[in-house]
Amino acid sequence: MSHRRKKYDGTFFGRSTGVAERGDPFGGESETEQYLTAKTSKKRSARFRLEEDHYEEDSTRDRYLLTYADLITLLLGLFIILYAISNVDILKYKKISAALGDVFGNKGNLVGLEKIDVTNQLTPNDRLKEELNSLVTDMKLDNSVRFEEDKRGVVIHILDNLLFASAKADLSGQSRSVLHRLAEILKKLPNDIRIEGHTDNVPISSDQFPSNWHLSVSRALNTAYYLVSVENLLPDKISIVGYAEYKPIDTNASPEGRSNNRRVDIVVINNN
């Protein structure tokens, strides 16, 4: 048998390729450990720089939101202003026009503005209330005729002292002149009209009116019939109803309140 001499791979003498270096027995780092430490530090630095660049990029990318928010705020303010000036109060307009006209020496008129037809900017109910206001002022009916707007439409309250004698349902002479002026306004409207009779809570019992129901219905009926037969309002637009004392607008605990509750309401129904 032949004996082959075993070749040494250099483990005992020098450093072999591909074999990990031994650590320094005196506590220092080997070249391999130094290389690995430096490589790890470089990776960490690169990662931090990447995160920092990403953060700066996000901050720059979201900066447009500030401009967008400013734009939305300005648009909101614009729409609020447009809404505010879209509803023109004719009476306030005339007062402002007269005041500024006096300042600029134009006798109550503003140059150019007097040609603007502001009535075209009023709603039908606003025009109706303006005409009613003129009627009340011209005929000095502040204590007898009032009007308001609710969900049904424009409601004209006519107190019974203007239309009827106490506990009666026949129209008085004065009431006819008021209803004539009122009919001139109502004829121009396409709306349906409801005539409502109301009383206070004081019971009534007579041969003609056994109850407040009868009195309230008779007053509404006579008012409606006058508007149709004399003032020529279209009968298919008129309806009547009697509420007796069950729809008060004031207290029945005082004479003044009961006087306000005894009334005929002419309701101009809103068009749907």
The confidence score (pLDDT) of residue 94 equals: 66
Task: Give 110-128 pLDDT, tens digit per residue.
Answer: 444 444 454 556 788 888 8
User: What domain count does the chain have?
Assistant: 1
The confidence score (pLDDT) of residue 173 equals: 84
Residue 205 lies in a domain: yes
Nearest to 265 by CA among 232, 234, 233, 242: 242
Residue 79 lies in a domain: no
Residue 35 lies in a domain: no
Lay out the sheet containing 145-149: strands in order across. Answer: 145-149, 153-159, 263-269, 193-198, 238-242
Residue 4 lies in a domain: no
Residue 112 lies in a domain: no
Q: Rounded to the nearest 5°, which phi and psi values hold at 12? A: -80, -30
The confidence score (pLDDT) of residue 30 equals: 59
Residue 178 lies in a domain: yes
Q: What is the 3-state secondary structure (H, E, C) of the chain?
A: CCCCCCCCCCCCCCCCCCCCCCCCCCCCCCHHHHHHHHHHHHHHHHHHHHHHHHHHHHHHHCCHHHHHHHHHHHHHHHHHHHHHHHCCCHHHHHHHHHHHHHHCCCCCCCCCHHHCCHHHHCCHHHHHHHHHHHHHHHHCCCCCEEEEECCCEEEEEEEHHHHECCCCCCECHHHHHHHHHHHHHHCCCCCCEEEEEECCCCCCCCCCCCCHHHHHHHHHHHHHHHHHHCCCCCHHHEEEEECCCCCCCCCCCCHHHHHHHCEEEEEEECCC
Residue 213 lies in a domain: yes
The confidence score (pLDDT) of residue 84 equals: 72
- Contact (CB, 8 A) for 141 and 178: yes
The confidence score (pLDDT) of residue 82 equals: 78
- Contact (CB, 8 A) for 144 and 132: no
> What pTM does this model have?
0.56
Domain of 255 in residue numbering reads as: 123-269
What CATH number is associated with residue 155? 3.30.1330.60
Q: Which residues of the chain have pLDDT under 70?
A: 1-62, 85-121, 272
Residue 13 lies in a domain: no
The confidence score (pLDDT) of residue 254 equals: 94
CB-based burial, 168-190: b 16+ in 10 Å, e otherwise:
bbebeeebeebbebbbebbeebe
